[in-house]
Amino acid sequence: MELKTIKGVGAKTEQAFNRAGVYQAEDLIDYYPRYYDTYEAPVLVRDLETDRTQAVFGTVARDIVVRRVKNLTLTEAFIRDANGDSIKCVWFNAPYLKNQLQIGATFVFRGFVKELRQALVIDQPKMFKQDEYNNKMGSMQPVYPLVKGLTNNVVTKAVRDTLEQISKAEFLPQSVRDKYDLLDVKDAVKQIHFPKNTQEFQVARKRFAFEEFFRFINNLQSLKAENEKHKNTHRIEDYTEAENLLNNLPFDLTKAQVNVWNEIKKDMSSDGVMNRLVQGDVGSGKTIVAVLGLLSAAANGYQGAIMAPTEVLAKQHYEGMLELFDDNDIDMNVVMLTGSMTAKEKKEVYEVIESGKANIIVGTHALIQEAVNYKDLALVVTDEQHRFGVRQREAISNKGENPHVLVMSATPIPRTLAIIMYGDLDISIIDEMPAGRLAIGNALVDTSYRPNAYDFIEKQVQAGRQAYIICPTVEYSEAVEGENVIEYAEKLEKIFPPSIKVAYLHGRMKNDEKNKIMDAFARNEIQVLVSTTVVEVGVNVPNATVMMVENAERFGLAQLHQLRGRVGRGSEQSYCIFVDGSKDKIKKERLQVLCNTNDGFKIANEDLKLRGPGDFFGVRQSGDYEFRMGDILNDADVLKQAADSYKMLMEGELPMTDKERKILEEDVIKDLNL
């Protein structure tokens, strides 16, 4: 249905809606509010609090004042409450209010309360007759995301009108809705836009979160069925080269690594195509397993590619492989492709890739750009998969003709959820750390401990080691509290003797600069690296033994565990110092979990237990897995229900009609926001 057919929507409004991504009336159904405004009971003037929206029932006490300030008209009224206390209300450019605001007129004045010259004022309140306000009280008014040309009123009316005229098709089979007490789509839509109370909102939100997960699972499972049909056209049977390399490595693979490597070999030499996830905690040694696979693909005459989420990590893989192959006299052409390369550099790499002169290709998202044509891609690896979507994983695999797919992740989510989220893949687990690793020593401290920490770092550096210090922000800002990288690095330069080189790293730096700093740190030309979480994923500098995290309370547990994974990667004892910048007991307890265990899965489980159910939009914390409504951690139960019900439907334990089945089959859209 065209937008213009909605009451009150003309050409201008239509254009504004287009800018907001709404092209037809149907889109409005899915145009969810950002949050809801609840009309609370009016309060007395003496109970007003600054910086929030509140309402006062009051009587206009004096003649109003209309003044001109610069080029604005300012309307001011004093209102008095039942207790006789008064407060000023101010409006800009609203001289017409004069008629309404006669002395003695009573209204509920509702607006944002703020402090102006040491007194509270209500800023541009809206006025309601008392019974009008009573009607609204306890209701939740949707507040929609807006763009220029749209007001909340316009959107609200348009949504209301649309819902009266059209309805959305039901996606979830009846049997599933019955089993899990889910609203039907009609009520859910109504209640997500116009809930009467939080309860109504919650059940509507749950229904949509369920649907989102359910569709995700439906898509993954079809992908799986599709992949299972593929025949192996890149049979990799000769593993001499990889086995030679293995024999020359300065270490033995752990038993877990050997098992995974065997599974990979079996997959790649079988009749089918490999689709495998290698899950292993940070530092468990996933890279070498991937390298063995890539080397085998290349040695069998094909190409192999590995995609990493950051340029720093891609570069590290690239250089690591060059060095490894060089040390072991392996003659393979490894090339790198990243976004920050010049057009000319890229073009040269495209050519060696296309001609087949490149055997192994390492890179970032640049690997899936249109201009890249591979010669004969037999294996694609994505590292730190939780940073990519399913779609990007598919995109790289579509660059070849059904290549083998190896996905690596130190999944920061509990295993039960991981099995669902990676439902289209076979899963291998590296559940063992390389021998000789000492457990990381952890300390949770407050800011008064800093001088000791600096002494400690200095001693470690004098013993030849290096340290990371993580700060939550890049530079000083009034708006955000917390330590920042730039000032922190300056401070440390004064504290440490000049022999200790301090540098900083953050995401806003140019890729070139970042690479330079990381290289210098890897070569121990920099001893103390002050950084934002850009070093979070994958970075491997085994000589670094101290990880100090400032404002640890500001990070998620899974993220802190990833950060901690940057140390303890060599044979030296490593340490992690979490500095709690808050004085909050609950936050401290949460951080304590990290000190109690170094096991990523245990931490993910604890993290899950410590969360209450998320109540509103915008509380999604497991940001690496983006869903619109659901959050895989906060809504873990819903995710499991969706997975269970899907399985039951497929196995016939829950019935569905032919029509319902058809809807599921037709939903396998490649552009679902996966």
Which chain residues interact with ligand ADP by CB under 6 A?
A: 251, 253-254, 257, 280, 282-288, 410, 434, 538, 540, 542, 565, 569
| Residue 554 contact, options ligand ADP, Mg ion, none, Cβ 5-8 Å cut-off depending on partner type | none
Nearer to Mg ion, 472 or 538 (CB): 538
Nearer to ligand ADP, 42 or 565 (CB): 565
Rounded CA separation 152/10 (Å): 16
- Whole-angstrom CA distances from 241 to 290, 298, 303, 336, 595 are 14, 10, 15, 22, 42
Site for Mg ion in 468-497 (CB under 5 A): none
Nearer to ligand ADP, 48 or 253 (CB): 253
Nearer to Mg ion, 399 or 566 (CB): 566
| Residue 284 contact, options Mg ion, ligand ADP, none, Cβ 5-8 Å cut-off depending on partner type | ligand ADP
Q: How far is the CB of 338 from ligand ADP (least distance, A)?
A: 19
What pairing do the DSSP bridges indicate for beta strands 140-143 and 334-337?
unpaired
Interaction between residue 434 and Mg ion (CB under 5 A): no
What pairing do the DSSP bridges indicate for beta strands 72-80 and 52-60?
antiparallel
| Residue 282 contact, options ligand ADP, Mg ion, none, Cβ 5-8 Å cut-off depending on partner type | ligand ADP
Q: How far is the CB of 93 from ligand ADP (least distance, A)?
A: 59
Nearer to ligand ADP, 247 or 448 (CB): 247
463: Cβ contacts below 8 Å, ≥ 6 apart = none
Q: Count CB-CB contacts under 10 A for residue 419.
A: 15
Rounded CA separation 203/206 (Å): 5
Beta bridge partners of 35: 143
| Residue 251 contact, options ligand ADP, Mg ion, none, Cβ 5-8 Å cut-off depending on partner type | ligand ADP
| Residue 288 contact, options Mg ion, ligand ADP, none, Cβ 5-8 Å cut-off depending on partner type | ligand ADP
Q: How far is the CB of 246 from Mg ion (least distance, A)?
A: 19
Of all residues in the shown chain, the one whose CB is closest to ligand ADP is 285
Q: How far is the CB of 573 from Mg ion (least distance, A)?
A: 21
Q: How far is the CB of 287 from Mg ion (least distance, A)?
A: 5
663: Cβ contacts below 8 Å, ≥ 6 apart = 169, 170, 171
| Residue 285 contact, options Mg ion, ligand ADP, none, Cβ 5-8 Å cut-off depending on partner type | ligand ADP
Q: What are the phi and psi torsion angles at 291 (to 5°)?
A: -65, -40
Nearer to ligand ADP, 324 or 335 (CB): 324
Q: How far is the CB of 538 from Mg ion (least distance, A)?
A: 4
Site for Mg ion in 519-558 (CB under 5 A): 538
Q: How far is the CB of 242 from Mg ion (least distance, A)?
A: 19
Q: How far is the CB of 291 from ligand ADP (least distance, A)?
A: 9
Interaction between residue 285 and Mg ion (CB under 5 A): no
Nearer to ligand ADP, 529 or 674 (CB): 529
Which of 538, 517, 619 shows the shortest CA–CA distance to 308? 538
Nearer to ligand ADP, 257 or 515 (CB): 257
| Residue 434 contact, options Mg ion, ligand ADP, none, Cβ 5-8 Å cut-off depending on partner type | ligand ADP
Which of 237, 189, 267 shows the shortest CA–CA distance to 32? 189
423: Cβ contacts below 8 Å, ≥ 6 apart = 217, 220, 221, 224, 643
Angle (CA) 345 348 354, round 5°: 140
Q: How far is the CB of 605 from ligand ADP (least distance, A)?
A: 20
3-state secondary structure of 52: strand
| Residue 368 contact, options ligand ADP, Mg ion, none, Cβ 5-8 Å cut-off depending on partner type | none
Rounded CA separation 349/461 (Å): 39
DSSP string spanning 472-524? Answer: SBSS--SSS-S-BHHHHHHHHHHHS-TTS-EEEE-TTS-HHHHHHHHHHHHTT
Tokens of residue 73, six digits: 């008209």
- Where along the sequence are the contacts to Mg ion (CB under 5 A)? 538
